[in-house]
Structure 1
Amino acid sequence: MRSCSRHTKALIAACLTMGVLAGCADEAGTPVDGGPPRPPASQDGAVSAPVTKVLVVIEENHTLDQMHAGMPYLASLADQYGYATHWRARAHPSEPNYLAIVGGSTFGVTDDATPSVNARRVGQAQSIFGQALAAGKSAHTYAESMPENCHQWDHPEKSVGKPSYAARHNPWVYFTAERAQCLEDDTDLSTFAADAASDTLPDIGLLIPDLTHDAHDASLTEADAWLERQLAPVLAGDDFRSGRLAVVVTADEDDRLQDNTVLTAVLHVGLTHKVVDTPLTHYSLTRFMAEVIGVEPLGEGRGAPDMRAAFGL
């Protein structure tokens, strides 16, 4: 444990005087009682650095109400920072929604087939990842349980056992014109924590849980616990605390029993208890990512409702 600074010692003494030591934290946001790091306090309207990075996390197959009730950690972040009440996914099943977010189109895809089938529908189209790299920015996908970079099949394959990595949840693998970049920057999760801790997350990042941790094959509780572990170094980093990084957590689609409204939480230090009632869609996220890196939004993103304006980012 690092030694306390004079400022920290004075803070602890003041807390003892008030009888609230357990609630105090050091300069890094780590509670002095040894508990887990707390997210930095949001400051709605406060001056912060311009948003230059976006990290997107996509959960699976649950409604706004289900996620808010079943994922208390995510719900607490949504309530602390901000979330949308009328955010609609674009389609069923999963795959077209992932393509919509990163490509501005579903490309006519109506199923969850692997790239061996559906990459031809995407054709030579560009993704937000390819856009970022072409503009001199950085892009990276972190896919949990993926056996090799830019892997185009489920793993393990269904003939061998129950898959944990689903290619349909890794949209970059469908963009054949960007295969070389995908092979370089579409990786497993092994460097994510270090990249977050060292403030070297990319300008456009996508964090993909496996089928256990995205609530597809397991519970929302497990997905929530995994999310807390992954976001801890992100929310403690200088990129996030300065306002340079915005984190967006959404779901690909609902449970197919309602109107496809999903929880989308926007985590940024400039937001405090922000509840956005403006109708938004996955194409709004397409537009937001493009605007952050200064490129033209792809496809339907060009005319999508303005997420940046709605959240005041």
Structure 2
Amino acid sequence: MIALSTLLLLVPVVLAVQARIQLTHFQSGHRSNIAPQFVPPSEGPLVQSSNYVGSNNGSLPKPKVVSGKSFDRFIQIWIENTDFESANSTTAFSDLAKQGIFLDQYYAVTHPSEPNYVAAAGGDFWGMADDSLYHIPSNISTIVDLLEAKSISWATYEENLPFDGFEGFNFSSKNYLNTSAPDYTYYVRKHNPTIIYDSVASVPSRLALHRNFNDFAADVNASALPQWVFVTPNMVNDGHDTSIDFAGQWVDYWLAPLLNDTNFNNNRTLILLTFDETETYTANNHIVAMLLGGAVPESARGTVDSTYYTHYSTLSTVEANWGLGSLGRGDTNKTLSNVFSFVANATGYKNLNISGSDIPLTNITGTIPGPLNPQLYVPFTAPNTSAVGAGGGAVFVASGLNTSLTAAVVPSPVNLTALGKTVPWLGPRNGSTAATSNSTGSGKGGNGAVSLSDGIVRSAIFGITLAGIAAFLV
């Protein structure tokens, strides 16, 4: 009988071996000591394909357009883990930048991947420093609350999502790059920002707006693309499991032709193409970003904007454009949330001039206290309700949130790991069955503002498959 302590010591070895096995399976018959060759997953970005796994069940209804001050549609497309210099030297990205505004001082907010995605949806990464399966409680607000308050349509499109609203940790499907190899983990939940929040995932109508690329093709062809869109390529096309050149080929295949399709890109469409984080953690989190689309003023195309921006700028820019309320978090942090300049000019918002040594270090990870940091656990706190965001509206406060538990009175951080505990929000949300597709576990939601004295700090024990863990690794 092997002792539990021995098994625990073997876990990192098993994970590394499994990751190597999966990589070998991917390479087998497809490449040998060379980068994999890009294979289009479909005949075109608007042609449905079995490689996208889930079949389309019909398009969304055509949205009622809520006019913005600078744009009527905002589309974000995120690529993975690439240093500024590497991405900037890739032809596909440098060529696209000439068609829009190159944001040469754009930064991610932390490491690794998942907390950056979460921050772009909710204005905070809550101390998270890993890519685990979390469910952020339902009284924590997101951009979805702000959009729906003004009846602005939205959806996320995740390549290889098996069906609308799938909540699983990951999903493996046929390896279309190498049909003789085993199934490949193309979809991962950690790159699907809004589904990580229970305020979105626990509402069926919101959950259903997490769609795949077959849905995307149907929605664009039906002129039914929503006004706020988040697009995530799969794990090879976003460069995570391949290379920046591979991701560049996907951009050429998928995005370049869509720029000429008025159902996707009309004269009121703003597109942000960017990265989640740098590959090198020791350098500050400087990433390539560019603004494309018909909403970019003709006079600004081919120019460089050196204003300091972060992922929180995507929130503040949307808020400014539509005159929304705010989340009272990173989106209202004046230093971190400058509005894209041409939008700031149109809305009268005044950005801060931040450059050189004034640019904060946002490459730190694991040292920020928060409700998703087991070494520095503090409960979820209320937003800054007195903050004034770029949109000028009130701070959105979800029902059931303890507004008296603010950052000013939050208790000192607690090391849950030392106590043999995990954070309360680790694991699938209550009522989620799909979340156990490739991983199993227990984890309950509840009041986002809790304290250790409430006695509801719970542990979550996972039975994650090795295939799931391999895809979990950054």
Fold equivalence (TM over 0.5):
yes
Describe how 1:240-251 pairs up with structure 2 within 5 A: 242-251=266-275
Question: Where does 1:94-243 land on structure 2 (aligned, <5 Å)?
Answer: 94-114=113-133, 118-120=134-136, 122-152=137-167, 153-156=169-172, 162-179=184-201, 180-238=204-262, 242-243=266-267
Partner of 2:285: 260
Unaligned runs of 5+ in 1: 1-35, 37-48
The residue number in structure 2 matching 1:60 is 80
Q: Is the 8 A contact 1:195 1:201 kept in 2?
A: yes
The residue identity in structure 1 corresponding to 2:274 is T
TM-fit CA distance, 1:242: 4.4
Instruction: Report the Cα offset of residue 54 of structure 1.
Output: 0.3
Aligned partner of residue 76 in structure 1, secondary structure: helix
Quick one: which amino acid aligns to residue 56 of structure 1? Answer: Q
Task: Compare 104-113 and 245-254 and name the one that shifted more.
Answer: 104-113
Aligned-residue Cα RMSD (Å) equals 2.5
Residues of 2 paired with 1:95 and 1:275: CA distance? 28
- How far residue 198 of structure 1 moved from its aligned partner, in angstroms, is 4.6
After TM superposition, the score normalised by the length of structure 1 is: 0.75
**Mapped contact 2:108–2:310 kept (Cα < 8 A):** yes
Give the superposition deviation at 1:310.
Answer: 5.5
Shift of 1:124: 2.2
Q: Say whether 1:50 aligns with 2:60.
A: no
Secondary structure of 1:258's match?
Answer: coil
Q: Which amino acid aligns with 1:295?
A: L
> Which residue pairs with 2:38 in the alignment?
none
Q: Is the 8 A contact 1:50 1:243 kept in 2?
A: no
Using the size of structure 2 for normalisation, the TM-score is 0.51
Is the 1:126–1:177 Cα contact (8 Å) retained in structure 2? yes
How far off its partner does 1:238 sit?
Answer: 3.0
Residue equivalent to 1:25: none
Looking at structure 2, the residues matched to 168 and 200 of structure 1 have their Cα atoms a distance apart, in angstroms, of: 26
Corresponding position of 2:95: 76
Name 1:302's counterpart in structure 2: 332
Q: CA–CA distance in 2 between the matches of 1:228 and 1:197?
A: 20
Relative to structure 1, the CA distance from residue 233 to residue 135 in structure 2 (aligned partners, 3 Å threshold; closer, same or farther) is farther
CA distance, structure 2, for counterparts of residue 280 and residue 101 of structure 1: 12
Confirm or deny: 8 A CA contact 1:87 1:279 kept in the other structure: yes
Once residues 297 and 130 of structure 1 are traced to their aligned partners in structure 2, the CA distance between those partners, rounded to angstroms, is 9
What amino acid sits opposite 1:191 in the alignment? D
Kindly state the Cα deviation for residue 135 of structure 1 after the two structures are TM-superposed.
Answer: 2.2
* Residue correspondences, number: 260
Contact 1:88 1:282 in 2 (8 A): yes
Q: Which runs of 5 or more residues in structure 2 are unaligned?
A: 1-43, 45-68, 174-181, 347-474
More helix by share: 1
- Greater relative contact order structure (CA < 8 Å, 6+ sep): 1
SS of residue paired to 1:210:
coil
* % identical equivalent positions: 24
Question: Relative to 1, partners in 2 of residues 1:306 and 1:239: Cα closer, same or farther, differing over 3 Å?
Answer: farther
